[in-house]
Amino acid sequence: MRRSTVTAGLAFAAALALTTSTATLPAAAAQAPAAPAPAPAAAPAVAALAAPDISVTNVQAHLSQFQSIATSNGGNRRSGSAGYTASVNYVKSKLQAVGYTVTEQNCTNCTYPGNNVIAEWPGGAPADQVIMFGAHLDGVTAGPGINDNASGSSVLLENALVLAQQNPSLTKRVRFAWWNGEEQGLQGSKFYVNSLSTAQKGYIKGYYNFDMVASTNGGYFINRVTSTTAAPLKAYWDSLGLSPEENVEGQGRSDDYSFQQGGIPTSGYAMGASARKTSAQAAKWGGTANASYDPCYHRSCDTTSNINATGLNRSADGVAYAIWDQAVGGGTPSNDFSVAVSPTAGSVARGASTTATVSTATTSGSAQTVALSASGAPSGVTVSFSPSSVTSGGSSTMTIAASASAATGTYTVTVTGTGSATRTATYSVTVTGTGGCAGGQLVGNSGFESGATVWTASSGVITNSASQAAHAGSYKAWLGGYGASRTQTLSQSLAVPAGCASYTLSFWLHIDTAETTSTRQYDKLTVAVGGTTLATYSNLNKATGYVQRTFDVAAYAGQTVTLTFAGVEDASLQTSFVVDDVTLTAS
């Protein structure tokens, strides 16, 4: 979502009364995670609709790809950047592989010229009957832009792939779009709408926009919530007892506004940006009152860690419901099912085992045989199912057994159900024990010689600039040095094994400064592990060369933690914090 600089003054037409849809919610609605606040209201009783259950695991896989793209291209996916171009190529290749007609439309008057991606599923109704779904593909320079807006882009991409996989008969043409230049003022979508003739605008019977649909402290918001266009989106979320509200914060700030200005009916989902959640919303939806919906909005921390998986899942399934409600013909529902694991996490000691229940449900059509399998278990850990296949609606006992020499640490096991479709769920297993030490040096790209690989960093932090020497090699991480108000971060997620005798974090730090005081801290570098501060350095710690800093981090054994360096400069007189050769050694 673009940053708002003035209060949006949208003059909406008089709100239309919400009409009841003739289609009903999929059975999958009952499988969505429960809202954290009051018990959900009952789903409306209407006729069956064969909308598929969209795998949130698959959506998260797209998010991981966008994160990798940003990490490999300067830490962001801003329009006009290599990260944006790589994002376009990723989306386009996925769509073309399943049969979409894909067009790249170059936005020549965007601030950063780049391409919109327009994809249409072949067939369906005549060209004058179109339902369109869109999300902006670009982010801001400050970070990788995973909630804003890889979340909307990934939800749309997975829905497009599922539509191609199921290939239902269509009553309207389905068109998807990923926009360039939203963050500079909705430029890509505005360019597209302006390129349409009056007749072509009239062909589009509704445009649905999805922007920031996984905010960690989010709410459930719908654009023009009382409009006829919004009815299927609202019906799905109402079935989960969410009581969605009007997207007041987003009015005029995302790509639906370009279509609205073109006279095209619009709606869409959002979960909120920098505005603060009210006490009433926190009571209804859970979360923290008087805190922003997305604390990482337009910041470097907008990574895959900044995702509300429950909201992401509800948004993805709501999009599917809208597609099927608006564009899919009648007929016998396709057979589909869902998979869930309870509990979703557990631990097992070396030489022991633990169990969890794998449940399945028929979400549309008839029950079917589902074969169960698992992947992602570490060395020395086996996963088995009893029974190994079930009829959808049945359950199985999953047993996780660890050998005496199993690798310790925390791992994600993916449980896969295979039938007419493939559905997945995840289970987090922590292997404990002292029967050996799966240790070694845990920090990837510790000397930064591979650039931003493995690390998540603010733009320009990882550099081979000759202005500051590396401790070894050519690259290092340079935080600060601007002589102006600035905050920069550098981080890496680390799986710290259990069972080792010692755990030592070490790095080399060089501090130089233009500050002349010997008593006051103006600029600071904070080093933290797992959210706990290990040390703080400042302009008072300046030195002529590198100094090695070491810490005992045994308290984090058996955990997956994030190692973070955060540099903060005040408004004048630079301080440079130069970090190199970072290691965490377990032995």
Cα distance between residue 124 and residue 144, in whole Å: 36
Q: 472: which 2 tokens?
A: 């070894």
Q: Coil, strand, or helix at residue 327?
A: helix
What phi and psi, each to the nearest 5 degrees, are found at residue 524? -135, 150
Q: Residue 514: is it exposed, middle or buried by C-beta count within 10 angstroms (0-12/13-18/19+)? A: middle
344, 412 contact by CB (below 8 A): no
Nearest 5°: the CA angle 118, 122, 127 is: 80
Cα distance between residue 258 and residue 185, in whole Å: 10
Contacts of 488 (CB under 8 A, 6+ apart): 300, 457, 458, 460, 461, 479, 480, 566, 567
Q: To which residue do tokens 């979360």 refer?
A: 287
Q: Which residues of 68-77 are buried (b: 16+ CB within 10 A; e: fewer)?
A: ebbbebbbbb
Closest to 351 (Cα-Cα) out of 272, 415, 436, 454: 436
Q: 325: which 2 tokens?
A: 């409600």
Question: In the beta sheet, which residues pair with residue 206?
Answer: 131
Pairing label, strands 345-349, 389-391: unpaired
339, 370 contact by CB (below 8 A): yes
H-run or E-run covering 156: helix 151-166
Q: What is the DSSP letter of 27?
A: G
122, 101 contact by CB (below 8 A): yes
Tally of CB atoms within 10 A around 368: 18
Cis peptide before 149 (omega within 30 of 0): yes
1, 150 contact by CB (below 8 A): no
Q: 229: which 2 tokens?
A: 């266009």
Question: In the beta sheet, which residues pair with residue 428?
Answer: 345, 412
Any idea which residues carry the catalytic annotation? 182
Amino acid in position 19: T
